[in-house]
Structure 1
Amino acid sequence: MGHDMSRQCLKPGRPDVVETNPDDATYTVISELTLTVGRSDDNTLIACAVDHPSLTPGEKWTEQPIRVLFTPDVTIQPQNDLPREGEKFIIQCIGNGNPKPTSYVWQKKDGELPLLAKVDGSFLLFEMLNKSDNGVYLCQADNGIGKMQGEYTLLVQDGPDNIADPTAMSTSSGVDHAVIGGVVAVIVFILLCLLIVLGRYLIRHKGTYLTHEAKGCDDAPDADTAIINAEGGHSGAEDKKEYFI
């Protein structure tokens, strides 16, 4: 570096170190920057620019990305949000770390992996879902820096072509027959009651008709007189009576 040249970094650090060059009338200035970084600082660019009267601003500068190593974050992503019985289903273990995870370990909490479940790296494949597959599945990702674990709760839903239990169908059929039998019994009872009421009405109506028809026949000397009396002609006969003094 040239005489009196200094190097300035974008972030403040400890004081610069100035060294003379024994075989040249120049100086070397060393600026050091100490940072506390986290996983969010990975790939962040750090720039350093040289400021000197012989240079225009920004003429000499460089930048370097920060590489932060950290253990992976782990999430488990299902193929869809509605796993159905009898269908194929896949869940994937996603590890976000630096470096990228190279090892995945699958297991089922409080049990063993189903026989029809196959591990393919970060994927767990179910060839045919069953209600017995329900449970919590764990995936551990390892990237050499550390290990982290994620979990997923599988709850298998009824399939679209699920066949009902024959016992349940028989029970339901028995209940339906009982209900139908009760309804029929009520209808028959109502019909019987209507027939009884109708019969009593007809009997009473017929008695009244006969009594009305016989009215005036007891005092009539013949049939014609009886008809006249029944039609109210009795009073007319009285009007035709002759009185002798």
Structure 2
Amino acid sequence: MARPAALPLLLLLFLGTGAQNVQVQIPAEVRGLLGSDVTLPCHLQSGEPQIRVSQVMWLRWDRYGGSQSVAVFHPIHGASFPNSGPYDQRMSFVTGNSRETEAELRDASLLLKGLRAEDEANYTCEFATFPWGSSKGATWLRVLAEPKNHAESQEVTLGPDPTPMARCVSTGGRPPARISWFSPLLGEGTEARTAGPVPGTFTVTSRFTLVPTPQADGAKVTCKVEHETLSEPVLIPLTLSVKYPPEVSISGYDDNWFVGRVEATLSCDAQSNPEPTAYEWSTTMGSLPPTAVAQGPRLIIRSVDESANTTFICSVANAVGTSRAEQTIRVRDTPRASTGDVGPVVWGAVGGTLLLLLLAGGAMAFILLRRRRRKSPGEGGAVGSYDPKTQVFGNGGPVLWAPPAPGPTKEEQEEEEEEEEEEGGLMLPQPGAEDDMESQLDGSLISRRAVYV
């Protein structure tokens, strides 16, 4: 129950009219559980020893700002409970209805038994004293009730529209409980509030709404209930249930069914809720081949022949409906080469190619080296000689030129022609003029055939 808007400033202040060292000690709020006993503490504190309490009174304020006296104590006349309709036999002073000492008079704590929802209100405790006048304080009594919580999933059937799939109920709480949902699915909670089993209490019902799909079947959701009477939230896990017809697929075909293969098998895989009740195998041509044997979700081909070259159909039924799947078979004359057989052939071809390349490169290097050695000067050719008839003068003195080396003999030319035929027409580099020159220490070049003096 909400606290009246006009009361907080009025009731939560100490409105003492006596000395400042006389005050009322009272808590701002008191909580009690529905049906239990609760005490509203109220004490007069004063450092004045001569002060005397002449009367104690409790006032109850309603939501509209009106008040009424619910308990009075007088030192001579004792306790009185006016307007005690709802408080009959339920209200009393903690120190008793007769008091003999001043200390007892300063304790005005009030006991309220069998707490009810209508007891929730603002209360004012007021002391009338002599000679300091009156002092008062206010408290807010809150009545709470702990709820009972439970949740359950609701089995639904596959459909296109959002449907409540789980329900979470918090019964008899005061104030109303707060309910929320945790789920990986894109659902939402819708809440309704009704009166609880006890007056002044509330029942909150929250439904988790979602489009029912096969993916939602078996999914986990959690209902979370929060209330101020609970030390921690209550978590209730649930498993959703969606009824849907079978989802069918066929496995087992490896694209290697050949004539003569034995015990070839197809499997009919079905997911459904509830479980499948019947499996039926057929072909697009009607009946199964003579060598095919159906064993529930399995189809066994005892011996593969041309009759297995067809499309097989598996039909699965449950309480919701029937679904089917197809698998086309292609029968081969001979088994298909496996991946393991192709590997060695490929690697053998690659290795052979590399070996041929290495041999060709070695042969080419050998031929080039042999030709270079044969045509190098100084290996069997004529050396330069001095002849006065060939003397010429250059910038550095006379230079004697050696006669050119004789050409190859007829046998050598025939041998070279044979080598060129063996080379298979390969274009080999021809030795250039630079082979006749020799580098000197001073950086100059001289001919190997010339004789310098």
TM-score range, shorter chain: 0.5 to 0.7
Q: CA deviation at 1:54?
A: 2.3
The aligned residue for residue 18 of structure 1 is 194
Partner Cα separation in structure 1 for residue 308 and residue 207 of structure 2: 57
Contact 2:191 2:204 in 1 (8 A): no
Partner Cα separation in structure 2 for residue 151 and residue 20 of structure 1: 57
Q: CA deviation at 1:112?
A: 2.4
Partner Cα separation in structure 2 for residue 20 and residue 112 of structure 1: 65
Contact 1:39 1:68 in 2 (8 A): yes
Partner Cα separation in structure 1 for residue 286 and residue 235 of structure 2: 59
Q: TM-score with structure 1 length normalisation? A: 0.59
Contact 1:7 1:31 in 2 (8 A): no
Q: CA deviation at 1:141?
A: 0.7
Kindly, what percent of the aligned residue pairs are identical?
27
Task: Give the secondary structure class of the aligned counterpart of 2:293.
Answer: strand
Partner Cα separation in structure 2 for residue 126 and residue 15 of structure 1: 58
Q: What CA deviation, in whole Å up to 9, does each residue of 1:91-147 have, x standing for no partner?
A: 111111112212111111124211111110011111110023211111101122111
Partner Cα separation in structure 1 for residue 191 and residue 273 of structure 2: 32
Partner residue of 1:77 out of 232, 240, 251: 251
Which ranges of structure 1 fall in alignment gaps of 5 or more residues?
161-245
Matched ranges for 1:40-189 at <5 A: 40-58=215-233, 60-78=234-252, 80-88=254-262, 89-159=264-334
Partner Cα separation in structure 2 for residue 110 and residue 12 of structure 1: 49
Q: CA deviation at 1:152?
A: 0.5
Q: Assess, with a 3 A threshold, how the Cα gap between structure 1 residues 133 and 78 changes in structure 2: closer, same or farther.
A: same
Contact 2:255 2:329 in 1 (8 A): no
Q: What CA deviation, in whole Å up to 9, does each residue of 1:47-91 have, x standing for no partner?
A: 111111222443x12021101111111111125331121112111
User: How many corresponding residue pairs?
Assistant: 158
Partner Cα separation in structure 2 for residue 79 and residue 134 of structure 1: 12
The aligned residue for residue 6 of structure 1 is 177
Contact 1:106 1:138 in 2 (8 A): yes
Task: Give the secondary structure class of the aligned counterpart of 2:207.
Answer: coil
Letter in 2 for 1:49: K
Contact 1:4 1:27 in 2 (8 A): yes
The structure showing larger relative contact order (alpha-carbon pairs under 8 Å, at least 6 residues apart) is 1
Superposition CA RMSD, Å: 1.9
Contact 1:7 1:30 in 2 (8 A): no
Q: CA deviation at 1:12?
A: 4.0
Task: Give the secondary structure class of the aligned counterpart of 2:215.
Answer: helix
Would you tell me which structure has more strand in proportion to its own residues? 2
Q: TM-score with structure 2 length normalisation? A: 0.33
Q: CA deviation at 1:14?
A: 3.0
